[in-house]
Structure formats: structure tokens, C-alpha cells
Chain A
């Protein structure tokens, strides 16, 4: 599987996990959007499918990080890992095609485009 596809699956998985976690927050529930519980279960299955599409070692890293930090992926902003707010080494300061992790906290790094 190409790195691009793996990276896209990782990002989709992350956004999906964020969505699923938002649904549980009291503030979100209070806003009052109607959520179809059957579709919510279907989304959990989509999540499992996405996880299976990742190389097994990447899926394992993602799940381990998610359990540890809730957010397994951290954006890189101004040279900092926005997971642990530590300055990143020079080689990790620019958008990379590789899937890299923060040398300090281990989160998978993501470079948002400007």
C-alpha cells in the first residue's frame, strides 16, 4: 500500500474518532442535533474497516496511541508537535511524505497545509 493511501486512511480514521468522541460530550448533546443510533453503529463498523485497511503495525501504533492520548495524531505548527508542545528536530519541521512520529511523545505527526 502506498504511503499516501496509508496517510489518508490514518487521517480519516482520526477524524472519525474525533467525531465519535464529540458525540459523547454533554455540550454536543445539549446542542440538540438528532443522531441516528443505527447509523452510529454503522460508523463504528466503518471505523473498524478503516483500521483493517492500515498496515497491521500502523494500526497497532494508532490504537496504542489513541488509548494513551485519545488523539493519536498531532499537527505540526510552527515547528512544534501540537500533541506535547515540544519543539521538533529540524528534519521534522517541514511537511513530509513519510509517516513520522514525534520523538518526544510518539504521536503520529501531521502537517496541515496553510
Chain B
């Protein structure tokens, strides 16, 4: 499974308006779903955030959940034009957000595998200081692709 293949440029917003954490999550969810389905997803994501921030540190957050409101794995990416408070574990503000929503029925555990992979890629992005490098969604997808290939080589 390749993360770059799950990304679509329509769902990558590299000029996300900085706002409160919950509003940013909401904006990203609405790029995937609308109406009551979106409300359900936002509610579940916020419940997950209550358990502990998904801000994994060094400027990256990965809000995630499984929800009845989606029938396949959905990913959206947002980069805020200014870092925002996400109550991240290192207490530092966040600017890159990977949103991942999976259906409850998840053959092959694709959700958790993808989640683990995003964490791995996010760490590479911060290690190589690449968070702000891509300027377009296409460049972002290419970068993720390169990192994935690099990680595969190292295995």
C-alpha cells in the first residue's frame, strides 16, 4: 500500500487559514464530507482528541478516526499559513495536518497500517526539514512518494 496513491491533490490545501484547532479539523473534514456525515466525523475526531492530542510534535498533527460516515479510507492534508496551537505533545504549534478517516469495516487493517505509515513519513518530513518545502499539492504528493521510496530502500 502506497500512501501517495491515497492522496488526491483536491484534498491537499497548503494554504489553510490558521484558526482554532477544532475549526481547522472541521475545515479539513468538510473537504471530504458534507452535512450530517461531516458532523458525525468531526464529533468522533474531537472525542479522539480529548483522549490526547494527535499533534505528534515538531509541527505535525494526525487527527484520525473510523466512522460510519465513510465507506472507504479518506485522507485530507492541510498546511496552515501560520502555525496553530494543537496541544501537541511537545507543546509546539502545528502547521501540517494529515486527516485520516476510515470505515468501520476495514479489511486488511488498512487504516492502522496507513496511520502508522503517516507517522513514519511525518517523522521523515520533520527530520529533513521538509514541512514547508512543497508549494503545490502535486509537489506534496511527489515528496511523499520520494520519502516512501526512500523508506522502502532502507528496509
Residues of B within 8 A of A46 (CB): 47
A62 to B69, CA, bound (A): 18
Task: Check: A73 CB closer than 8 A to any chain B CB.
Answer: yes
A73 to B39, CA, bound (A): 18
Whether B50 pairs with A42 at a CB distance below 8 angstroms is yes
Contact of B48 among A19, A27, A42, A113 (CB under 8 A): A19
Most chain-A Cβ atoms within 10 A of its Cβ — which of B35, B69, B71, B113?
B71
Whether A12 pairs with B44 at a CB distance below 8 angstroms is yes
Whether A16 pairs with B112 at a CB distance below 8 angstroms is no
A22 to B103, CA, bound (A): 12
Contact status of A19 and B66, CB under 8 A, knowing A12-B44, A31-B119, A32-B119: yes
Main secondary structure of the interface of A (DSSP, over half): helix
Residues of A within 8 A of B35 (CB): 113
CB distance from A42 to the nearest CB of B (A): 7
Chain B residues engaging chain A, CB cutoff 8 angstroms:
33, 35-37, 39-40, 43-44, 47-48, 50-52, 54, 56, 65-71, 89, 103-105, 109, 112-113, 115-116, 119
Give me 15 other A-B pairs in contact (C-beta within 8 A), A14-B68, A43-B47 excluded. Answer: A8-B39, A8-B40, A15-B66, A16-B47, A19-B65, A19-B66, A27-B109, A33-B52, A33-B56, A34-B52, A39-B51, A39-B52, A77-B71, A112-B37, A113-B35
